[in-house]
């Protein structure tokens, strides 16, 4: 399986304040107020921090590398100490490492605070969301931005409710197989290039298409086609968890290697997550659409706890113990 070089890794993906602003402009109702020239700064910790104690002057264990959230409580305190002291407290936060502030609940910084941020290299954003709602949605935005990511050559399809990735050499029929499955009710997620991200909390992989190629397929002899325009919006999915990898290989290359019983379970590791892997030999006349669909149904059965190989093995052992043929 060929991986493409990306800025992501097993440890996570680096992202900047500009990435955060772009991702949260709609979801978090974010607007930039000050510090446009500093948006290239990398977010070191993908978490928000409420600097309550730091505003009072206590900086021990101050989480300066996080996004500083100024909610109603923080704003009430700043108003209570007067405009001069308020600017000095904000200055102190920046001098102790704070570099990005988000004012929630439609609150706005003063002109002096905006000028301070511009001069000291900090960024200020505002959101119309309440603090509670902002914190909830912001956690998801930051998790997605900082999640470990990679890109893989392969076609990703939802088959029988299962996220299945096809990989193999060019010309083995990955896209054609996906097309046949789509006509039978499956859904395309990504063709040719699949973007993978890791949910660190659940140790699960999710696949999607790149923004530029989502919904499109290339079929040799036909060219580029837009799947939802031909088969309807139900024929595509935005994202799906990766549960099975099917490797297409020429029959001449795998003679003697295939476990005909299926007793040996193969896996492939992506971003340190093991994914079940099945090798399907490709030769003239083989019905790949039917084979892939059956493989997906078989994998769902195994995931439910029913292993056909184990069931058959136990049955044969029982009959042998009973002296039956």
pLDDT tens readout for residues 158-197: 999 999 999 999 889 899 999 999 999 999 999 999 999 9
- Helices 83-95 and 72-80 cross at an angle (nearest 10°) of 120
* 225 part of a folded domain: yes
Residue 263: pLDDT band (50, 70, 90) is low
Strands (E), the chain: 3-4, 30-34, 48-49, 67-70, 100-103, 123-127, 149-153, 155-159, 162-168, 187-190, 193-199, 204-208, 216-219, 223-226, 239-241, 244-250, 266-270, 273-282
Q: Do residues 25 and 102 both lie within one domain?
A: yes
The predicted structure's pLDDT at residue 52:
92
Output the six-digit token pair for 294: 């059956």
Say if residue 161 is in the same domain as residue 305.
yes
What band does 154 get if pLDDT is binned at 50, 70 and 90? Answer: very high
Neighbours of 254 (CB within 10 A): 14
pLDDT band at 324 (very low <50, low <70, confident <90, very high): low
Residue 24 CB-half CA count within 13 A: 31
The predicted model scores a pTM of 0.74
Task: Tell me if 207 sits within 8 A of 189, measured CB to CB.
Answer: yes
200 pLDDT band, cuts 50/70/90, is: confident
**Is the residue at 128 inside a domain?**
yes
Indicate the residue among 95, 124, 146 that finishes a domain. Answer: 146
Cβ atoms of residues 39 and 17 within 8 Å: yes
Which single residue is written with the structure tokens 């000028």? 115
Same domain, 280 and 156: yes
Structural domain span for residue 139:
17-146
Q: 42: which DSSP letter?
A: B
Mean pLDDT of 127-155: 93
Q: How many domains does the chain have?
A: 2
């Amino acid at each position: 399986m060929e991986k493409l070089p990306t800025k992501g890794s097993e440890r996570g993906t680096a992202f900047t304040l500009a990435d955060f602003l772009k991702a949260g402009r709609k979801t978090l109702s974010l607007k930039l107020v000050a510090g446009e020239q500093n948006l290239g700064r990398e977010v070191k910790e993908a978490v928000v921090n409420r600097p309550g104690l730091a505003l009072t002057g206590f900086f021990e264990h101050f989480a300066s590398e996080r996004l500083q959230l100024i909610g109603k409580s923080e704003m009430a305190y700043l108003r209570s100490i007067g405009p001069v002291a308020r600017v000095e407290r904000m200055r102190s936060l920046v001098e102790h490492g704070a570099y990005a502030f988000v004012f929630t609940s439609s609150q706005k910084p003063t002109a002096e605070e905006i000028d301070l941020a511009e001069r000291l290299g900090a960024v200020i954003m505002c959101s119309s969301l309440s603090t509670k709602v902002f914190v909830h949605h912001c956690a998801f935005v930051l998790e997605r931005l900082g999640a470990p990511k990679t890109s893989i050559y392969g076609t990703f399809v939802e088959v029988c409710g299962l996220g299945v990735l096809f990989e193999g050499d060019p010309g083995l029929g990955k896209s054609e197989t996906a097309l046949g499955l789509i006509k039978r009710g499956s859904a395309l997620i990504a063709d040719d290039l699949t973007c993978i991200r890791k949910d660190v909390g659940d140790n699960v992989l999710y696949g999607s298409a790149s923004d530029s190629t989502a919904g499109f397929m290339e079929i040799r002899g036909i060219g580029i086609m837009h799947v939802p325009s031909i088969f309807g919006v139900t024929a595509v999915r935005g994202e799906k968890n990766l549960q099975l990898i099917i490797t297409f290989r020429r029959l001449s290359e795998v003679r003697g290697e295939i476990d005909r019983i299926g007793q040996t379970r193969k896996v492939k590791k992506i971003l340190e997550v093991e994914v079940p892997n099945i090798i399907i030999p490709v030769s003239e006349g083989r019905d790949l659409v039917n084979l892939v669909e059956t493989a997906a149904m078989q994998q769902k059965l195994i995931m439910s706890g029913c292993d056909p190989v184990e069931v058959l093995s136990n049955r044969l052992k029982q009959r042998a113990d009973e002296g039956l043929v």
